[in-house]
A = this chain, B = another copy of it.
Amino acid sequence: MTTQEFWNKVKSPEYKVTQPRLAFADVLVQNQDVMLSAESLYEKTKTIFPKTNLSTIYRNLESLERLNMIYKVTTDDGLNLYKLKCASNEHHHHIICTKCGKVLDIHFCPFDTFSELAGKAGFTITEHRLELYGLCEDCRK
């Protein structure tokens, strides 16, 4: 997704174009394939628009989450990581590099098998979270 495409998607009377948002959008677009913490998104945004405030980052993450534009995970040690949602509308999962945060899309989902197994035990699955962690080629070296 380009910055242009990003703005085409979100711009509306309810989502105005402001200076912090312009900077933040750049950061998100530039890091589409990496999961970053609010803090590092903040740092990166500040290099573009130095006056940006951390709470603005959180507020914009929330706004974009409402627009279904943000993918978020919580790591084992309780840190939240964010990225722009993948362009692909197809349901898929991710493998996240534990060192650099790089993300690989995995277009395979075993949901049906799980659904069947759960159903036999009276459970109805409403949500599933599948996150794979590992090392990408670069970080393994």
Contacts and interface: CB of A to CB of B under 8 A. Distances in A.
Interface of A: 74, 76, 78, 80, 93, 95, 97-98, 104, 106-108, 110, 113-114, 117-118, 121-137, 140
Nearest to A119: B134
Nearest to A118: B95
Contacts of A107: 117
- Minimum-distance CB pairs A-B, first 9: A122-B137, A110-B110, A127-B133, A125-B134, A74-B74, A126-B134, A128-B132, A130-B130, A129-B131
A78 B73 CA distance: 10
A129 B129 contact: yes
A132 B122 contact: no
B125 A95 contact: yes
Given A104-B121, A106-B114, A118-B134, 15 more contacts: A74-B78, A98-B127, A104-B118, A108-B114, A110-B110, A114-B132, A123-B134, A124-B135, A125-B134, A127-B132, A127-B133, A128-B130, A128-B131, A129-B133, A130-B131
